[in-house]
Amino acid sequence: MKYYSLRHTAKISNTFTGTTQGPIVKILPKYKDDIGLLEHEKAHVRQWYFWLAVGLLLGTMLTLLVSPSLWPLLGLAPLLHQLLYKFVRPYRCWCEVQAYRKQIAVGGYLSNDFAVAALVEKYDLKLSANKARALLFD
């Protein structure tokens, strides 16, 4: 069973080759055959599903055990990953390191320097190149 929706579109930020919003993966058309990039984005989809499940479980428990009036909290479940990713730098770092590790493992690239450069430059992680390399390859 396919757990994501893939779209090839040019409507992506200039700094990225692919993006993920919940279970929707968008990849630039010129990278449609890059299996590593697809696996990178699928890693983010799995991260989103994890937090969706956690949010639904917590919301359900609070609704059943504390007060039925807390049911609107269930509506926050789809946003948990995005909120954590945006506002919690260590979580964002963990997400990207996991995704780039997967991309490198299956991508068959001649060089992995692109992943180090991306971690240093693109995600506001405040990492040095040496630290990024250590996170990816140690």
pTM over 0.85: yes
Contact 4, 19 (CB under 8 A): no
The residues spanned by each domain of the chain are 5-137
Closest by Cα among 88, 14, 108 to 47 = 88
The shares of helix, strand and coil residues in the chain, as percent rounded to the nearest 5, are 65, 10, 25
User: Residue 138: is its pLDDT beyond 90?
Assistant: no
What confidence score (pLDDT) does residue 1 get?
A: 81
What confidence score (pLDDT) does residue 13 get?
A: 87
User: Residue 40: is its pLDDT beyond 90?
Assistant: yes
Report how far residue 134's alpha carbon sits from residue 46's, in angstroms, rounded to the nearest whole number: 24
User: Residue 33: is its pLDDT beyond 90?
Assistant: yes
